[in-house]
A and B are shown apart, each in its own frame.
Chain A
Amino acid sequence: MKNTLTKLALAGLMASTMIGSAVAQEDTIKVGVLHSLSGTMAISETTLKDVMLMLIEEQNKNGGLLGKQLEAVVVDPASDWPLFAEKARELIEVNEVDAVFGAWTSVSRKSVLPVFEELNSLLFYPVQYEGEESQRNVFYTGAAPNQQAIPAVDYLMNEEGVERWVLAGTDYVYPRTTNKILEAYLKSKGVAEEDIMINYTPFGHSDWQTIVSDIKTFGSAGKKTAVVSTINGDANVPFYKELANAGIKAEDIPVVAFSVGEEELAGLDTGPLVGHLAAWNYFQSADTDANAEFIDAWHAFIGDEERVTNDPMEAHFIGFNMWVEAVEKAGTTDPDAVIDSIVGVSVPNLTGGYSAMMPNHHITKPVLIGEIQDDGQFETVWETSGLVIGDAWSDYLEGSKDLISDWRAPMSCGNFNTVTGKCGGSGS
């Protein structure tokens, strides 16, 4: 505990002294970290701040970048969406950082987009999201729907023989868009309207009795039923507790979640949840040397053997290494040069392969389906045979299926409409 405290104090000190020392030390490269350290999202985002500090520290031990040391500039947008935009502006204009790693919720990403466009800086966004977006200044290192949701549904359909679907989510943009894509996808696979139940709940919902009993009822119609959960953040713990107590077993009605990772399970007794699923691109249980090294480094950095690693942490690991490599390739941290040089950069991921940055600013990833174990870890039960390319524009939605994104010259367009042959399609 004392260790964490000193570390927190140190981080705070670092953040505050950095602003002062910025003028004095011209020969460092500054990296912005834009994650909420207080408020609702602190539960997930604090870890990502720590992992960035660790990556930067390691890079400095290995000689820094372009012969200079890296410097982290940490700010706290306090889970307040408009504050994200202000803090992003502060990082770029006042602290003059060369790249920013941050944001978690889609709404915070949407809030900072105009800032990065206006000031022409770089944002690495590490969380799985709903897609339907491709921006010149943003690199999406988390999963797009086709790298998480679609393969998960395929798995349930083919391996578990699921015919009836509950799409349950928190009421905001990520679950709503993902469920729209999934609904279109399921219908294209011949699932009838009455075999799909869609349900939304508010953020932090804690009374799940009605919904869990609805799921039970929906599941008793003589067909194999599964729940696809895009329930986010704090609401997951009471949801899983209610599931466990209501006796819904994974063998009968499996729940596959897109926002539940090792970190979320840390607050739960997973004994009754064994067998429920999650789809990610990384699990802490991945059996590779790179991963073992990463976990050891993380435990040494944070000073706590109990802390887990998760998918967005790996996304930051990949994104940071890609940025480092792109800067080395370009020989400068100038955003325009890095945007040109980063496409095609390929770095090792933690699951034993390489991830590459594609022209649409999404990356290639393996898709893993894991089952919850009683020790709070996931065990991979299925994975894609190769890497999946992140698709910015879903192929299953009207108005988005004709769009492609390619930020290389000469196209340089995030929403090129292949039907009309014009940039600016019908998306944003």
Chain B
Amino acid sequence: MSNLKSIFVLFCLVAGLVSPALAQSDTESLRSLVDALAKGKYAETEQQIGALVATGDPAVAPALQALGAGDLYFRKSDGQVFIAEKDGKRFTLTDPLTLEVEGDAGKREIKKIKVNNKLRRVIRSALGSLTLMAADPNVRVAAAEAIFKAQDPAGIDALETALAAETDDNVRLVMEQARAAAVLNSDLEEAQKLAAVETLSEMGNREALSLLIGVRSNSEGAVRDAANHAVEKIEKSIAAWNTAQNVWYGVSLGSVLLLAAIGLAITFGVMGVINMAHGEMVMIGAYTTFVVQEIIRTSAPGLFDYSLFIALPLAFLTAGLIGIAIERGVIRWLYGRPLETLLATWGISLILQQAVRSVFGPTNREVGNPDWMSGAFELGQMTITFNRMWIVVFALLVFAGLMLVLKKTPFGLYTRAVTQNRRMAASMGIRTPWIDALTFGLGSGIAGIAGVALSQIDNVSPNLGQGYIIDSFMVVVFGGVGNLWGTLVGAMTLGVVNKFLEPYAGAVLGKIFVLVFIILFIQKRPRGLFALKGRAVEA
């Protein structure tokens, strides 16, 4: 739908440019060109695109845009080309030139005009020169960026005209950069090229670097020296940013570890139960998200952006209730027998996996990213993806929330009392079996909401939990059993160490090194980073 919207935006600005009388007479000749897109293979389509662009008429932009997006179809009966939008079982047909709705068609009555990567590139650069004068600054920026990528010297004239009319400074900058890129690929004189190298050198990002390396190997004399100088400068600044980028990756990996481990820090760390089914609680949270999104898709598509907020409490409840059921049904009979707990919970994890496999099928399920979780933004030379950023924020919020519950609520007080001295707590009138069940439920529920977050970056499959269980235990043991702060510091340390090792040692060796490091560390400090002190430890 957003495609169609942007096409309409395009149209509106296009309509302003072409005088109505002219448009009338041109439409027919344009239509024959547009209809020709439906014929022939990729090579012919490429020529047809060329012919359309050669008209220089912005009225062809919507058709090209739809072609690139795969929305351009032709009607099998008469070969006429339409922009088709799926509307339920049928397609709504829009005329690509007048942008008026021309009725609808079934799936078998129309056929999509095929495009491949090469055509998409051609279309992108063609659209660049056609939409440089658009009213919407975002469209102008996109157009300039397309010319930048295509490095098409033919775009220089259009860019200069556009630059002369441009008032927005940001757009100007992008256009100048695009012009520089195009100039470097042209036969213009040296002085122009040197200025272009300077512009790119100031741009200073990877795209500029990529272009300049190409220039360095393809040119001579002063331009080559200037390019070389600029490449060295950019490489130096990117190397510095890389360190920052690694730290960010580490924090992001650490926050995923923290989410996965924090529930375990309660059940294992605080209660001392080795819960091998912890990963499956994460999986159940992820599947809850899937079910929520599925219901939203079918009955209330407008709520999709809020699906994660709806899923959070439900995942907490589902996983928490299953956790309580496991505690009441199995684990409470096994307190003080770690080996048997381990085996029993491992069995439960297999049962849960197979149950999910039977109900939802063995294949991956699609959990979509809401708009605010998709894409990335640039911070200097770092790319930060929104989903990772929100997961870091979310992990810290969960941590803070959990701390608050344990330190400031009566339930937290009881929990701490029971774990520190069960018999004394019982004598004070605390119903310890209920506290056990609720604490276990809390740990499992936290794992469930971790599943909501992890569904955004990982597979939603029955095996989801298995990938996290080893890492979670590693974090809890490393951080120090029974201490939530230890889990936080442990997760972040392991994340950052892992990410700094990875570029040098590779992902496989990096993981091994981290494991060896933890084993050695545990030899030195058997109780982990933050050891509990005092009499409680011995109990």
Contacts and interface: CB of A to CB of B under 8 A. Distances in A.
Partners in one complex: yes
B124 interface: yes
Interface residues of A, number: 63
A325 interface: no
Contacts of B120: 250-251, 275
A238 B459 contact: yes
A46 B467 CA distance: 20
A210 B385 contact: no
B508 A267 contact: no
Interface string B497-514: 001001100111001000
Interface core residue of A46, A213, A251 (most chain B CB under 10 Å): A251
B366 A268 contact: yes
A202 B374 CA distance: 26
Interface stretch (A111-119, A219-227, A291-299, A412-420): A219-227
A42 interface: yes
B364 A237 contact: yes
Contact of B366 (A216, A267, A275): A267
Given A254-B117, A373-B70, A267 B213 contact: no
A222 B467 CA distance: 38
Contacts of A159: 116, 118
Interface string B335-375: 00000000000000010011001110111111011000011
A234 interface: yes
Contact of B114 (A222, A247, A379): A379
Contacts of B172: none
A1 B294 CA distance: 14
A328 interface: no
A245 interface: yes
A211 B362 CA distance: 28
Interface of A: 1, 4-5, 8, 37-40, 42-43, 46-47, 159-160, 171, 199-202, 204-207, 209-211, 213-214, 216-217, 219-223, 234, 237-238, 241-242, 244-247, 250-252, 254, 263-264, 266-269, 272, 274-275, 277, 371, 373-374, 379, 381
Nearest to B246: A210
28 contacts: A4-B358, A8-B358, A38-B353, A42-B462, A160-B118, A204-B467, A205-B507, A206-B457, A206-B459, A207-B253, A207-B256, A209-B252, A209-B388, A210-B507, A222-B211, A234-B364, A242-B385, A245-B374, A245-B375, A245-B376, A245-B385, A251-B117, A266-B363, A267-B363, A267-B366, A269-B366, A274-B70, A277-B117
Interface core residue of A159, A220, A275 (most chain B CB under 10 Å): A220
Contact of B376 (A5, A246, A252, A254): A246
A308 to B, nearest CB: 9
Contacts of A38: 350, 353-354, 357
A269 B467 contact: no
Size range of the chain B interface in the assembly? 35 or more
B245 interface: yes
Contacts of B374: 244-245, 272
Contacts of A379: 114
Contacts of A254: 117
A5 B387 contact: no
Given A42-B362, A238-B458, A269-B368, A221 B383 contact: no
A358 B374 CA distance: 48
Contact of A214 (B114, B149, B207, B503): B503
Interface string B216-259: 11000000000000000000001000000110010011001000
Nearest to B217: A222
Contact of A238 (B350, B457, B511): B457
Given A222-B214, A247-B375, A43 B363 contact: yes
B114 to A, nearest CB: 6
Contact of B124 (A4, A210, A220, A251): A251
A5 to B, nearest CB: 6
B386 interface: yes
A246 B457 CA distance: 12
Contacts of A274: 70
Interface in B439-480: 456-463, 466-467
Nearest to B248: A209
Contacts of A374: 70
B206 interface: yes
Contacts of A160: 117-118
A217 B206 contact: yes
Nearest to B123: A251
Given A220-B206, A381-B116, 19 more contacts: A5-B358, A43-B462, A46-B357, A160-B118, A202-B507, A206-B459, A209-B499, A220-B210, A234-B459, A244-B374, A246-B385, A266-B363, A266-B364, A266-B366, A267-B459, A267-B460, A269-B366, A275-B117, A379-B114
B205 to A, nearest CB: 9
A245 B386 contact: yes
A9 B150 CA distance: 57
Nearest to B468: A206
Nearest to B386: A245
B209 interface: yes
B286 to A, nearest CB: 11
Given A222-B217, A238-B459, A206 B357 contact: no
A184 B362 CA distance: 37
Interface string B185-219: 00000000000000000000011011111111100
A43 B256 contact: no
B506 A220 contact: no
A116 B311 CA distance: 50
Given A246-B385, A371-B117, A43 B461 contact: yes
B76 interface: no
A210 B499 contact: yes
Contacts of B383: 213, 216, 246-247
A214 B503 CA distance: 8
B124 A222 contact: no
Contact of A221 (B42, B213, B461): B213
Interface core residue of B116, B124, B238, B386 (most chain A CB under 10 Å): B116
A267 B464 CA distance: 13
A403 to B, nearest CB: 30
Contacts of A1: 359
Given A4-B361, A220-B210, A221-B210, A209 B118 contact: no
B121 interface: yes
Nearest to B149: A252
A213 B243 CA distance: 13
B245 A263 contact: no
A201 B463 contact: no
A268 B364 CA distance: 8
Interface core residue of A42, A206, A209, A216 (most chain B CB under 10 Å): A209
A168 to B, nearest CB: 10
A209 B369 CA distance: 17
Contacts of B354: 38
A211 B217 CA distance: 27
Contact of A250 (B117, B213, B458, B502): B117
Contacts of A234: 364, 459, 461, 463, 467
B206 A216 contact: yes
